[in-house]
Structure 1
Amino acid sequence: MDGIGTTMQKKAAELERLAEVLVTGEQLRLRLHEAKVIKDRRHHLRTYPNCFVAKELIDWLMEHKEATDRDTAIKIMQKLLDQSVIHHVCDEHREFKDMKLFYRFRKDDGTFPLDNEAKVFMRGQRIYEKLMNTENNLVQTREEEGVSFERTLVASEFIDWLLQEGEMPTREETEQLGRRLLEHGIIQHVTNKHHFVDGPLLYQFRMNFRRRRRLMELLHERSRSIPESYDSPFCLRKQHSDGGNTSFLS
């Protein structure tokens, strides 16, 4: 049986942390659009579409208790800048400054770098959303080696579903897709003993893409034991929408 080594587990954990930054950034972007913090702005007779003023954003973060002080707010936004989620509108500043400078989410101007990691992440999120929005019995509590695990997928059934949904043309290619999802920290074997392989083994999504993130989480290692809320898709009950699509794909 195909196992996974420590190096692969560490790499998957790193990519999971990157995915957390992307999801957190996207949730913030949608909130800022809704609050009209992001809008077209003029400076020296030039219009800059869909941008925000750093100083005003820091005010907003503190007002909404997303940061305890201005220095913390700067560190949060610097994290998003370092991961290319946001950038200065003219790319003149690599640091997020508490000033009247214009910054923009790269998703709002189409400059987000779609490297291999980002593409796999976006594919994984799309599959996750499709799975959670479809009436099926794929995600269940099951046993493996006498131990019960919640929110599991049987590898062979997951492959059947991916083929049915047209994600890949052949079973072999679908298994390879599952392996990429595992290597990029999207899914995992329930005990982390095995790579993804077509058969009866159980797997879980490592992330709940829909969980509302606190921005402070960007500054700390995320606990894997964060409790799921009632409306979480991990709770195996009917999902209720709570304010629109928070997908990074939208």
Structure 2
Amino acid sequence: METLESSTQKKVAELERMAEVLVTGEQLRLRLHEEKIIKDRRHHLKTYPNCFVAKELIDWLIDHKETSERETAVKLVQKLLDHSIIHHVCDEHKEFKDAKLFYRFRKDDGTFPMDNEVKVFMRGQRLYEKLMNSESKVLQPREEEGVKYERAFIACDFIQWLTQEGEVVTRSDAEQLCRRLLEHGIIQHVSNKHHFVDSNLLYQFRMNFRRRRRLMELLSERSPLLPENYDSPFCLRKQNHDSKATSFLSVSPTKEIKIISAVRRSSMSSSGSSGYFSSSPTLSSSPPVLCNPKSVLKKSVTPDELLTPGAPYLRKTLTIVGDAVGWGFVVRGSKPCYIQAVDPSGPAAAAGMKSFLSNERDSIHAHLRHVCQFVVCVNGLNVLHVDYKTVSNLILTGPRTIVMEVMEELDL
């Protein structure tokens, strides 16, 4: 069959862009509520509920390294105002100003415009979250003709789930709903060759609604659908590609993006090399950690070796509470997996997780002891005989708090 017409694809691209702005704005709103930037405020004896002060928001964005310049921060928030995500409390200012003016998220005062496109988007997002939180296996990574697709489902299975969950009355109603989701860019056929039909064809949600968005993405003209690298969902990624002094964040779609931790990465700074980051000032003596480093072990270890009585390994249990940008570690290897890198200021490091450095790095820091921790269990499930992709998926689809058992080599 022919691919979708170019005019339809252009409309879908516009809807995708709108959807990214909505998700980014909602994630920001939840963070601001969590950190009490949004609160009731008084001015001239009048109380304005659920407001933020423009100048304070700009300060907050800079402090949290969403941007380094006030002018850029104003442009970012203006994007939200242009898309009716926020507004001046009295609707007197159509341009966002870096001043002591009160603004409010329209979702907080019930003035958000619910047109047809927004309604379809919110329906799609709700279905996505419902699928992710259910025990159903409808939505999962799937392969077709040797290509792996994330957030994928078989059409007839999805329709069956919609009817069973009471989302629709008949299979025909479910098919019509899925057609609207496809036309609005929420789902697509994996190779974009078919409209939606009740069949065994493979479709996928185009967006990962739980991916942690950065506000700087709002100013990007490229496609909002970032290519996904499933190499590891915990890789240390560059925070600002335009700055010579780069830093890295541990970025991961969390189970509950709405649950925000007060632990941030504001203390992270550059190490002077675009390939590395350094930790917070209190850990400045620590060696830099490679961004998504290559997997190089000094020697291979089997599960049987780890579990042999008297083996030189110590079992430890780590409880890691993810924050708004992830858990802060890189997992690598297969049968067993091991911890490749750890963000020194992240939740994993705080829980006692330690990183392994490759041979190349060891030759530079030969005087330091590099601990290798092998992953034994995740949330009570033994993972000694699986690869890192399976471990990654297990963590991503699990709760925000993960309990990991690791085997650490003894210092003999």
Query: Does TM-score exceed 0.5, indicating one fold?
Result: yes
Instruction: Could you list the structure 1 runs, at least 4 aligned residues long, displaced by more than 3 angstroms after superposition.
Output: 140-144, 230-236, 240-243
Secondary structure class of the residue paired with 2:185: coil
Displacement after TM superposition at 1:240 (Å):
3.5
Displacement after TM superposition at 1:102 (Å):
0.4
2-side partners of 1:174 and 1:223: how far apart?
A: 26
Q: CA RMSD in A?
A: 2.0
Letter in 2 for 1:63: D
**Pair 1:216-2:216 in alignment:** yes
Farther-moved stretch of structure 1 (130-139 vs 2-11): 2-11
2-side partners of 1:242 and 1:41: how far apart?
A: 33
Give the equivalent residue in structure 1 for 2:96.
Answer: 96
1-side partners of 2:42 and 2:69: how far apart?
A: 28
2-side partners of 1:174 and 1:59: how far apart?
A: 47
1:98-133 Cα shifts (integer Å, max 9, x gaps): 111100000100000010011101100110001001
**Pair 1:148-2:147 in alignment:** yes
2-side partners of 1:39 and 1:140: how far apart?
A: 39
1:31-56 Cα shifts (integer Å, max 9, x gaps): 11111111111111111110011011
Structure 2 portions without partners, runs of 5+: 235-251, 256-388, 402-412
Secondary structure class of the residue paired with 2:394: coil
> Structure 1 residues 167, 17: CA separation in 2 closer, same or farther (over 3 Å shift)?
same
**Pair 1:225-2:224 in alignment:** no
CA contact (8 A) 2:55 2:101 kept: yes
> Structure 1 residues 157, 236: CA separation in 2 closer, same or farther (over 3 Å shift)?
farther
Give the equivalent residue in structure 1 for 2:116.
Answer: 116
Farther-moved stretch of structure 1 (225-234 vs 79-88): 225-234
Structure 2 counterpart of 1:237, from 394, 399, 402:
394
Alignment of 1:74-223 (within 5 A): 74-144=74-144, 146-151=145-150, 152-220=152-220, 221=222, 222-223=224-225
2-side partners of 1:141 and 1:109: how far apart?
A: 38
2-side partners of 1:9 and 1:241: how far apart?
A: 36
Give the equivalent residue in structure 2 for 1:247.
Answer: none
Letter in 2 for 1:217: E
1-side partners of 2:139 and 2:40: how far apart?
A: 43
CA contact (8 A) 1:2 1:197 kept: no
CA contact (8 A) 2:76 2:219 kept: yes
Give the equivalent residue in structure 2 for 1:16.
Answer: 16
Q: Which has the higher helix share?
A: 1
Letter in 2 for 1:148: V
> Structure 1 residues 134, 120: CA separation in 2 closer, same or farther (over 3 Å shift)?
same
Displacement after TM superposition at 1:149 (Å):
2.8
**Pair 1:29-2:29 in alignment:** yes
State the percentage of identical aligned residues: 67
Displacement after TM superposition at 1:136 (Å):
1.9
Displacement after TM superposition at 1:194 (Å):
1.1
Displacement after TM superposition at 1:68 (Å):
1.6
> Structure 1 residues 40, 143: CA separation in 2 closer, same or farther (over 3 Å shift)?
closer
Alignment of 1:40-51 (within 5 A): 40-51=40-51
TM-score (norm 2): 0.56
> Structure 1 residues 176, 190: CA separation in 2 closer, same or farther (over 3 Å shift)?
same
Q: Which has the higher strand share?
A: 2
> Structure 1 residues 139, 223: CA separation in 2 closer, same or farther (over 3 Å shift)?
closer
Displacement after TM superposition at 1:2 (Å):
7.9
Larger Rg: 2
> Structure 1 residues 44, 78: CA separation in 2 closer, same or farther (over 3 Å shift)?
same
Secondary structure class of the residue paired with 1:203: strand
> Structure 1 residues 53, 142: CA separation in 2 closer, same or farther (over 3 Å shift)?
closer
